[in-house]
Structure 1
Amino acid sequence: MAGRLPAAWGADVDDLLRDHPADALVEQPAYSMTRAVSVDAPPDLTWRWLCQTAVAPYSYDLVDNLGRRSPRELTPGADDLRVGQSMLIIFDLVSVDPGRQWTGITRPSLVSRLVGPVSVTYAVQPAAAGTSRLVARMVAREQGLGGLLWARGLAWGDLVMMRKQLLTLKELAERDARRAGRRAG
Structure 2
Amino acid sequence: MHHHDLEHIADGVVGAAAIASTIIANPLLRAFYRKWGATEHEAHKPLPGDELIASPRMQYTRAISIKAPPAAVWPWLIQIGYERAGWYSYDVLEDMTGAGKFVDGESADRVVDALQTLKVGDQIKLHEHLSYTVRELEAPARMVLFDAREDHSSSWVFVLEDHEVHPDDPDTAAYAGGTRLLVRWRLDYEPSRSNDLMWKAFVEPINFVMERKMLLGLRERAEQR
The interval holding the TM-score normalised by the smaller chain is 0.7 to 0.9
**Counterpart residue type for residue 222 of structure 2:** A
- C-alpha contact 1:126 1:132 (8 A) present in aligned 2: yes
Higher RCO by CA contacts (8 Å cutoff, separation 6 or greater): 1
Q: Quote the offset at 1:36 in angstroms.
A: 1.1
Q: Which moved more, 1:80-89 or 1:158-167?
A: 80-89
Of residues 191, 198, 204, the one that matches 1:155 is 204
Question: Paired residue for 1:120?
Answer: 156
Measured in 2, the distance between the counterparts of 1:38 and 1:23 equals 22
Secondary structure of the structure 2 residue equivalent to 1:130: coil
**Equivalenced residues, count:** 169
- What one-letter code is carried by the residue in structure 1 that aligns with 2:34? A
Give RMSD over aligned pairs.
2.1
Distance 1:97 1:150, change over 3 A: farther
SS in 1 for 2:221: helix
Check whether the contact 2:56–2:186 (CA below 8 A) recurs between aligned residues. Answer: no
- Same amino acid, percent of matched pairs: 25
**CA–CA distance in 1 between the matches of 2:125 and 2:160?**
17
For the pair shown, the structure with the greater C-alpha radius of gyration is 2
Whether 1:70 aligns to 2:107 is yes
Correspondent of 2:215 among 155, 162, 166: 166
Aligned-residue offset at 1:13: 2.1
Distance 1:149 1:142, change over 3 A: farther
| Residue 29 of structure 1: how far off its partner (Å) | 4.2
The answer to whether the 8 A contact 2:80-2:87 is kept is yes
More displaced 10-residue stretch of structure 1: 137-146 or 155-164: 137-146
SS of residue matched to 1:173:
helix
In the alignment, is the contact (CA less than 8 A) between 2:154 and 2:186 conserved in 1? Answer: yes
Residues 161 and 43 (structure 1 numbering): CA distance in 2 closer, same or farther, change over 3 Å? same
Q: Do 1:29 and 1:143's aligned partners in 2 also have CA atoms closer than 8 Å?
A: no
Structural mapping, 1:34-183, within 5 Å: 34-54=61-81, 55=84, 56-64=86-94, 65-66=99-100, 68-89=105-126, 90-106=131-147, 112-114=149-151, 116-127=152-163, 128=165, 129-141=176-188, 143-145=190-192, 146-152=194-200, 153-176=202-225
How far 1:81 sits from its partner (Å)?
Answer: 2.1
Q: For residues 29 and 137 of structure 1, do their structure 2 counterparts lie closer, same or farther at Cα, with a shift above 3 Å needed? A: closer
Query: Offset at 1:37?
Result: 0.7
- List, as ranges, runs of 4+ consecutive aligned residues in structure 1 with deviation greater than 6 Å: none
| Structure-2 residue corresponding to 1:9 | 36
Which letter does structure 2 place at the counterpart of 1:66? Answer: G
Gaps of 5+ in 2: 1-29, 166-175
Tell me the CA shift for residue 77 of structure 1.
4.5
Q: Which residue of 2 aligns with 1:180?
A: none
